[in-house]
Structure 1
Amino acid sequence: MAKSRYFYCLFLMNTLINIINFAPRELIDARFDGAQSSILVAVVTGTLFIYLFTKVINKFPGQGLPEIFGSALPKLLAAPLIFVYAVLWYMAGALILLSFVDITLRFISPDTGPYAILLGFLAVVCLCSRIDSLSLLYGLEVTLGITLPLILYTTVKAVINPDFSWDAVLQVMTHSLHAPDMNSIAAATFTFSGYINLAVFNRVFHGLKLKHIWILSLEGFLVLAICFFVPIGYHGTVGIERHVYTWFTTADSIRIEAFLIERMLYIFYFAYITLSLVSAIIQWHVGKELLLSLLPSTARKPKKKLRQEIVILCLFAAGTFALMRLDQYDLNMLGVFLLHIRWYGELLLILLLFWCYWVVRRRRA
């Protein structure tokens, strides 16, 4: 049985991964058109989603999405829903991997073939996705213990750097009264989406107890503010438009005096490649478990389950190789589209869980 602190690990993982994904780009693109007010709306909406989701899923201790849907919805409705959500989880992990292939080529090793980098990532992610849910939570906790201090160090180093322009930050803040932008809201709420992994990981939680939910709100707000304002402080209100991966460009602008590694980029890259691979592992683990629930039961046939897992993960890998054909523009468009679909998908999932709880409760009565 997992302890409640692992829920915070899932939330923190997703919050930190938000810094390098498509969300900062969307917020920065709307820096003069409602990004700041969108962040405030996202904090309120994200916190509300967390509260509602954890409240209702606690009514199904030790059960994942397949078990909940199977007990309350017709199979003809439950199976397509589970399949669609599995694809969304797969796409979330695939986009993280594809983004890091591009980051590696741009900042670390431009002479290495992209397919060779992706193959290495896929080998790690596919092998580790087969680990059981509780062990993955243990691994996530250890990973955060290693990477979080490095990320905090990079953030502090960035803010106190003499090259950081507070004037640029204040200039952008003068546009805070603009009406919220839907693209920015969809991007910013991704910061709070770590809770959604309970769709499978709730199997190892029995009586999840969340205390001081305001801490999650504060943490999400701070991360959004940092990932939005710090790159602007470094590159200016106009110059920031020229950068795709704003935080990696920012990290490459920071030097470390009196240390073996002079460029902050390498420390930042190490922290985020570790966190990104673990995030992709968790995303694909959830997607795999959802798809396995649609196949015939293998409770007493471990070899058959192994074959099913291999087939699913091979399909995941093949799909990711196919997505490598997309250029940077198409990949960004796909990422923005999925940010919107994810937001509506989370809302639908919360409503479905409340419906399932009402159906099960009525049956017991």
Structure 2
Amino acid sequence: MNRYVFYVLWCDGITITGLLLYTLLLNERFNGSMLAIVISAVSGMIFLVTMTKSLGYFPRKGLPEIFRMFLPAGARISLLIFFSIMTITKGCIMIGYASSFFNLYLTDVNTITIMVFIFLAVSWGATRSSKTILSTLEIVLFICIPLMYYAFTKAIFSQGIEWNSIKAMADYAFIWPKWGTITAANSVFSGFVGLIVFNRVVPSKIKWKFTPIVLIVNLHILVTGLIISIGIHGTYGVGNYIAPTYSALDSIGMMSGLFSRTIMPYFLIVLFLLLVYASVTIHVGLELLKGCFSMKFQNNLRKEQLLSWAICCLFTIVTVIYFSSFNLKQIIYHTVNWLELRFYTEFLMVALVALFAVLKRRRKV
């Protein structure tokens, strides 16, 4: 497996877990969220293996090139626009969530101000080349992952964690979850969406022996964060917090170096991961949208950059208006519904690429 493929999958799982899934799954902790994680792991790995195996039949080609081989112009453009909007929206949701959570601690700075500055940095990153983004992703992960493990290790071995509260959750382990909870938990495995563009520069095929590693890597941060939140706040008390994992880490001291609390390095980790994650996600969405245009347009660097910046500005305005119009509780409710639509979208994407791979294989035979 190419290491950059692993980085894309890893970054997606860690970032969406830290910003979104902890809150959503803890809200449903008595309604089957633990079983939802197991079910989502099965469906997520099916999606991942199917997509990577199918992309192996299209070396050095992204989704726009694959669609161009099999679909008429009308269907190709419609699907690419839809997939592009869904992919960019995912990055925008993460930026909005992060800005809202940061504002809980940076009370002197307006949420909109934080959001706009993050969008500026992300838009610049998203308009770079795929190779540049992948190289940046590698550097950021090597910086952030050790700090994240250090923060979580401090939390796991702190005296404030109550293991009886964690053991009590075993009584709810076999409750059948809501469909929305399953689709939300499945998003931890949606990093394969980035491969539909990065397949142009790196081979996306994953050997079977690496599949368990990808599964463990995507799940262990999720499970660790849930354990810390429940262990620090208690089985019922964890429901009293808007961002329970942030609050749990904020209660743990770190008498080392520049930081006095574990939450401070964790904030930096989340910020760096968010910037590179959103850049990757929006870059993928922009590349899908560019695939709607002719090759002559795509080879014109100036027009391509103008289109990319125009799309980023449009989504920035829409995101700022949306997060200014609703409170966090309403946004979480909308996000659960959006994650369900994302599941169906990714299912359609995987099914189409798998179908075209079968057609290409038959043509060769």
TM-score between both structures, scaled by the size of structure 1: 0.94
Q: 1:249 — aligned with what?
A: 247
Paired with 2:112 and 2:212, the residues of 1 have a C-alpha distance of 43
RMSD, aligned CA: 1.7
TM-fit CA distance, 1:26:
2.3
Per-residue Cα deviation, 1:164-212 (whole angstroms, up to 9, x for no partner) = 0000000011221212332221121111111121111111124634342
Q: 1:64 — aligned with what?
A: 62
On the 8 A contact 1:98/1:118 being kept in 2, the answer is: yes
On the 8 A contact 1:89/1:284 being kept in 2, the answer is: yes
What residue identity is the alignment partner of 1:348? Answer: L
Structure 1 range deviating more: 341-350 or 136-145: 341-350
Paired with 1:110 and 1:227, the residues of 2 have a C-alpha distance of 25
What residue identity is the alignment partner of 1:136? Answer: I
Q: 1:30 — aligned with what?
A: 28
TM-fit CA distance, 1:362:
4.4
Paired with 2:308 and 2:38, the residues of 1 have a C-alpha distance of 41
Q: 1:236 to 1:300 in 2, by over 3 A?
A: closer
Aligned counterparts, 1:192-231, within 5 A: 192-206=189-203, 208-210=205-207, 211-231=209-229
Paired with 1:234 and 1:175, the residues of 2 have a C-alpha distance of 19
On the 8 A contact 1:255/1:264 being kept in 2, the answer is: yes
What residue identity is the alignment partner of 1:310? Answer: W
Structure 1 range deviating more: 244-253 or 317-326: 317-326
Per-residue Cα deviation, 1:20-63 (whole angstroms, up to 9, x for no partner) = 23322222122122122111111222112111111111111111
Paired with 1:114 and 1:206, the residues of 2 have a C-alpha distance of 39
Count of paired positions: 362
On the 8 A contact 2:13/2:191 being kept in 1, the answer is: yes
Paired with 2:318 and 2:359, the residues of 1 have a C-alpha distance of 37
**Given the alignment of the two structures, is residue 119 of structure 1 paired with residue 116 of structure 2, yes or no?**
yes
**Given the alignment of the two structures, is residue 48 of structure 1 paired with residue 46 of structure 2, yes or no?**
yes
**Given the alignment of the two structures, is residue 316 of structure 1 paired with residue 347 of structure 2, yes or no?**
no
TM-fit CA distance, 1:301:
2.4
TM-fit CA distance, 1:255:
0.4
Q: 1:36 to 1:302 in 2, by over 3 A?
A: closer
Aligned counterparts, 1:269-308, within 5 A: 269-297=267-295, 298-308=297-307
- Unmatched tracts of structure 2, length 5 or more: none
Sequence identity percentage: 25
**Given the alignment of the two structures, is residue 162 of structure 1 paired with residue 159 of structure 2, yes or no?**
yes
What residue identity is the alignment partner of 1:204? Answer: V
Q: 1:341 — aligned with what?
A: 341
On the 8 A contact 2:53/2:205 being kept in 1, the answer is: no
**Given the alignment of the two structures, is residue 188 of structure 1 paired with residue 175 of structure 2, yes or no?**
no
Paired with 2:182 and 2:4, the residues of 1 have a C-alpha distance of 26
Structure 1 range deviating more: 248-257 or 354-363: 354-363
Q: 1:332 — aligned with what?
A: 332
On the 8 A contact 2:8/2:194 being kept in 1, the answer is: yes
Paired with 1:40 and 1:164, the residues of 2 have a C-alpha distance of 24
TM-fit CA distance, 1:359:
3.2
What residue identity is the alignment partner of 1:340? Answer: E
Paired with 1:207 and 1:224, the residues of 2 have a C-alpha distance of 24
What residue identity is the alignment partner of 2:198? Answer: F
On the 8 A contact 1:150/1:267 being kept in 2, the answer is: yes
SS of 1:257's equivalent? strand
On the 8 A contact 1:183/1:340 being kept in 2, the answer is: yes
Structure 1 stretches of at least 4 aligned residues deviating more than 6 Å after TM superposition: none
On the 8 A contact 1:37/1:176 being kept in 2, the answer is: yes
Structure 1 range deviating more: 330-339 or 163-172: 330-339
What residue identity is the alignment partner of 2:34? Answer: Q
SS of 1:256's equivalent? strand
On the 8 A contact 1:88/1:342 being kept in 2, the answer is: yes
TM-fit CA distance, 1:126:
0.9
What residue identity is the alignment partner of 1:184? Answer: T
What residue identity is the alignment partner of 2:116? Answer: L
Structure 1 range deviating more: 25-34 or 203-212: 203-212
Per-residue Cα deviation, 1:130-154 (whole angstroms, up to 9, x for no partner) = 1100111110010000000111011
Q: 2:86 — aligned with what?
A: 88
Per-residue Cα deviation, 1:273-294 (whole angstroms, up to 9, x for no partner) = 1101111111110111111111
Q: 1:136 to 1:234 in 2, by over 3 A?
A: same
Q: 1:75 — aligned with what?
A: 73
Paired with 2:251 and 2:316, the residues of 1 have a C-alpha distance of 34
TM-fit CA distance, 1:363:
4.5
What residue identity is the alignment partner of 1:349? Answer: M
Per-residue Cα deviation, 1:72-103 (whole angstroms, up to 9, x for no partner) = 11222121111111111111111111111111
Q: 1:145 — aligned with what?
A: 142
Paired with 1:184 and 1:223, the residues of 2 have a C-alpha distance of 18
* Selected match of 1:233 from 209, 231, 255: 231
